[in-house]
Amino acid sequence: MLDIKKIRNDFPILSREVNNKPLIYFDNAATSQKPISVINSLTEFYSKYNSNVHRGVHTLSMESTDLFEEARNRVAKFINSKNSESIIWTRNSTEGINLVSNSWGRKNIQPGDEILVTAMEHHSNLVPWQILADINKAKLVILPINNDGTLNLDEIDTFINSKTKIVSAVHMSNSLGTINPIQELCSKAHKVGAKFMLDGAQSVPHIPTDVADIDCDFLVFSGHKMLGPTGIGVLYVKPEILEEMDPFLTGGEMVLEVSYEKAKWNELPMKFEAGTPNIADAIALGEAIVYLENIGMQNIRNHEIELTEYALSKFKSLDKLTLFGPLDPLIRGGILSFHSEDIHPHDIGTFLDHEGIAIRTGHHCTMPLIRSLNIPATSRASFYIYNTKDEIDYFINTLGNAIRYFTDVK
């Protein structure tokens, strides 16, 4: 059992009030809050170590470089990457996917090839592949979902075939909460000679992630969803693939030698990190990983299973709401998306905000998915390590008040 009270004390923002009510933060799928250790690491870097990394021979530069690369090593260990050279710093998951689609995709996807994604993908894992398919005259294939929000795998061997060159799938849906069978998808991709890209933006912060066990070729995730700062993300690539990829961005730092006529690329991972990197936020992400590891990723997952199971049971008391996604908390993350035929999601979100509850409303950057559900948008509550059953009780009670308020008005 986690000591949630102790954990909550590590997050300064959780002590504030919103509209004269204690803040209940249920928007973790959009971004997480930050513990004081992460906040302090940013202040400490700029106060004590601030200098550009690599090549500098003075003390501050060498200290900054050591901290920067130590953070990379922490990331590698966190996802069980065999070496840190497979870890590329990006701004976020979106940039990582774009890097792969441009650097690997434009070189390897040929006319007539197929790119497979699922029907529940975030725009970040859909639009780059749409563009690549259009430019390289390939075909984008959509793997459908069942009514319960799980992937429809009835004809998976038809969808993943000899024409498939890459399968790019979300691990945990940011709209449905669905946890997908990624190892099965990865295995089937490899059997036909295709690569497998995993979007771990929602899963890596919540579920133990082992790239060696999954055997994925690419993995992306974002620091700001896992207690770290905004503006820092990670792309993992198997080293043998990374060696063959061309740089996505060019300029300083990613070069080893330059003449007026040509340039020679730097060693991995700097080959893919042009310009001055986001040093402070990379270091702070390393501190976020230390915090998560001290709690234990399996402990975090167990806590969220308990919260999700509790919330699903409480939702049964609410009338006139449709809840999307699987009802089994073992194949669902702590994400609850729901819709009312009588109340617009923005009205629900505003009502809850007046009571200090932060949720997300809209299509959650999964517009094709939301449209396939024949609704304009959903309201979404999402949990993390600092959330409690008491908060869920207050949320459910307030949501019931919102339903009564708006339906009575009508």
- With cut-offs at 50, 70 and 90, classify the pLDDT of residue 319: confident
Judged against a pLDDT cut of 80, whether residue 83 lies above it is answered with: yes
pLDDT tens, residue by residue, 184-217? 999 999 999 999 999 999 999 999 999 999 999 9
Report if pTM > 0.75: yes
- With cut-offs at 50, 70 and 90, classify the pLDDT of residue 1: confident
Q: What is the pLDDT of residue 279?
A: 98
Distance CA 230, CA 288 (A): 12
Distance CA 175, CA 126 (A): 14
Spell out the residues 6+ positions from residue 339 whose beta carbon is closer than 8 angstroms to its own.
321, 322, 324, 345, 373, 375, 377, 378, 379
Closest CA to 27 of 297, 285, 386, 410: 386
Catalytic residue among 132, 343, 365, 373: 365
Q: What is the pLDDT of residue 408?
A: 79
pLDDT tens, residue by residue, 274-295? 999 999 999 999 999 999 999 9
For the chain, give the percent of residues with pLDDT over 90: 97
pLDDT tens, residue by residue, 101-155? 999 999 999 999 999 999 999 999 999 999 999 999 999 999 999 999 999 999 9
- With cut-offs at 50, 70 and 90, classify the pLDDT of residue 236: very high
- With cut-offs at 50, 70 and 90, classify the pLDDT of residue 409: low
- The yes-or-no answer on residue 216 being catalytic is no
Any idea which residue has 């007539």 for tokens?
A: 112
Q: Please, what is the average pLDDT of the chain?
A: 97
pLDDT tens, residue by residue, 114-123? 999 999 999 9
Domains along the sequence of the chain with CATH? 4-30+297-409 (3.90.1150.10), 39-293 (3.40.640.10)
Q: What is the pLDDT of residue 335?
A: 98
